[in-house]
């Protein structure tokens, strides 16, 4: 699929936002996304009520959610061969079209089905499935599952899993939390020296891209540190942030510097990346 910005930078998505939302809606929502302030703090700056800010954030989120099919597509807007070549340049791992992982977005304890959202004791969350390419562009985002649901189940019940099972694509890399399958490769649990150890090292370095992408997403959108809204609205905010992340990444916007410790001891250090460059 072609890049959404190839034809006209003021495409139908931008026109949609301009028609339905005024500039204050944009500004209040972007401030909330960027710093994660309480909604009433955002309103206090402009002498607006919390209800007014809530409505603005809601309108922007719903508008961005409608853009998800345009800006978050699997395996990506680049040709499959180009996606695989970019991954191959990282550590020599062949035929990779995406790296998958789950990330927990903390939320305030919901009033209904509270236990379903417990990630661990006293922490409630939404578990979000993220798949990305080597350029940190998110090609799949499943933001609808409570924090108690395991990554492997989210993948198993996703539409993407069905697509891969039909043989339309293959070449996902995931961590040990997923079942190793023909189209979703995971590391050897106890690698022997030699080929298995080399496989794990290349797998780890390549898969680190998804950890980097999640880190960039959360660094840009501080609201994802804790969402003080209902689970349903939290999911909409997450999707909106994913869409904005992809728009910024496709446009080549600079992302903040960050350090990430991968769960499987894949250490990655990003020195203020311009995403046109290889990290």
Divide the 279 residues of the chain into consecutive groups of 10 and give the mean pLDDT of each group.
52 55 73 74 58 84 94 95 98 98 97 91 93 98 97 96 90 96 96 97 98 96 95 97 96 73 43 34
Give the per-residue SS3 of the chain: CCCCCCCCCCCHHHHHHHHHCCHHHHHHHHHHHHHCCCHHHHHHHCCCCHHHHHHHHHHHHHHHHCCHHHHCCCCCCCCHHHHHHHHHHHHCCCCCCEEEEEEEEEECCCCCCHHHHEEECCEEEEEEEEEECCCCCEEEEEEEEECCCCHHHHHHCCHHHHHHHCCCCCCEECCCCCCCECCEECCCCCCCCCHHHHHHHHHHHHHHHHHHHHHHHHHHCHHHHCECCCHHHHHHHHHHHHHHHHHHHHCCCECCCEEEECCCCCEEEECCCECCCCC
What is the model's pTM? 0.84
For the chain, the domains span 12-66, 79-270
Please write the tens of the pLDDT for every residue from 101-156.
Answer: 999 999 999 999 999 999 877 899 999 999 999 999 999 999 999 999 999 999 99
């Amino acid at each position: 699929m072609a890049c959404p910005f190839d034809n006209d930078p003021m495409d139908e998505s931008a026109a949609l936002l301009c028609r339905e939302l005024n500039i204050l809606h944009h500004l209040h929502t972007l401030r909330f996304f960027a710093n994660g302030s309480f909604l009433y703090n955002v309103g206090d700056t402009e002498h607006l009520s919390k209800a007014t800010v809530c409505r603005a954030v809601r309108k922007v989120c719903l508008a961005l959610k409608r853009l998800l099919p345009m800006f978050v597509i699997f395996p990506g807007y680049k040709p499959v061969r180009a996606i695989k070549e970019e991954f191959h340049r990282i550590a020599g791992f062949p035929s990779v079209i995406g790296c998958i992982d789950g990330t927990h977005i903390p939320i305030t304890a919901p009033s209904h089905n509270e236990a379903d959202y417990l990630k661990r004791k006293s922490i409630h969350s939404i578990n979000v499935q993220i798949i990305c390419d080597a350029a940190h562009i998110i090609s799949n985002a499943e933001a609808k599952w409570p924090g108690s649901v395991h990554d492997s189940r989210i993948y198993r019940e996703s539409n993407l899993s069905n697509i891969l099972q039909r043989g339309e694509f293959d070449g996902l890399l995931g961590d040990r939390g997923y079942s190793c399958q023909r189209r979703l490769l995971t590391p050897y649990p106890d690698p022997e020296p030699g080929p298995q150890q080399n496989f794990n090292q290349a797998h780890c370095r390549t898969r680190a891209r998804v950890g980097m992408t999640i880190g960039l997403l959360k660094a840009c959108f501080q609201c994802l540190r804790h969402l003080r809204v209902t689970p349903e609205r939290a999911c909409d905010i997450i999707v909106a942030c994913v869409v904005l992340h992809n728009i910024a990444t496709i446009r080549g916007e600079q992302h903040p510097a960050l350090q990430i410790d991968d769960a499987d001891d894949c250490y990655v250090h990003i020195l203020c990346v311009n995403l046109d460059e290889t990290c």
